Structure 1
Amino acid sequence: SASEIGKYVCTEIPNSEIDPLLYSIVKANMIHGPCGSLNIKETPRGQDGYPKYKRRSLDAGGFSVNVNSVDLDNRWVVPYNPVLLRTFNAHINVEITSSVKSIK
């Protein structure tokens, strides 16, 4: 379910005042160009078994980050697991799959 996926995978910029460490790690390692639909309101599954992750827009309570003098929002965040990011401080793309077709 969407709530279960949200326990393990995040696709949003954290609040810099509540979690400055995670904010700085996401800013440094997990910001890329967007792919597919941007700022969707829930996490449905696609036909290929990959979920389409919830990404709140700024109007819906999402946060932004400034990278190279450009303000970027949740559309630019690569899916990540906060525990893994805090542990390894590296780019770690985390995806949930439910089909053997999605394993590469």
Structure 2
Amino acid sequence: MPLYLSKFSYTPESWARLIGNPEDRREAARTYIESVGGSLHGFWYAFGSHDGYTLWEAPDNVSMAAVAMALSGGGALSSLDTTVLMTVDETLTALQRAAEVRYRPPGA
């Protein structure tokens, strides 16, 4: 199954609710991804441009998109960016196939 790295940030209201009622959000995240047949591999908080990161595994892009849409629509996040991760083998295959693409630069 494909892996996905998500970067998220909470709204100020979400942080206020968590301060008033601290909660381990890993279990909630695990429930969301398991509902589409996936699994949660990691959940971290961070300092910087994003409040946290998750590493998910999902059956396909549509399943992961469904989770991302539900999270984004829930109102607790101010941002959610998800990146599809490729294995080294997938990247090597893509590199081999790239050699077959007949690219022409603009204006050439």
Structure (1 or 2) with the larger CA radius of gyration: 2
TM-score over 0.5 for the pair? no
Q: Which structure dedicates a bigger proportion of its chain to strand?
A: 2
Q: TM-score, normalised by structure 1?
A: 0.29
Q: Which structure dedicates a bigger proportion of its chain to helix?
A: 2
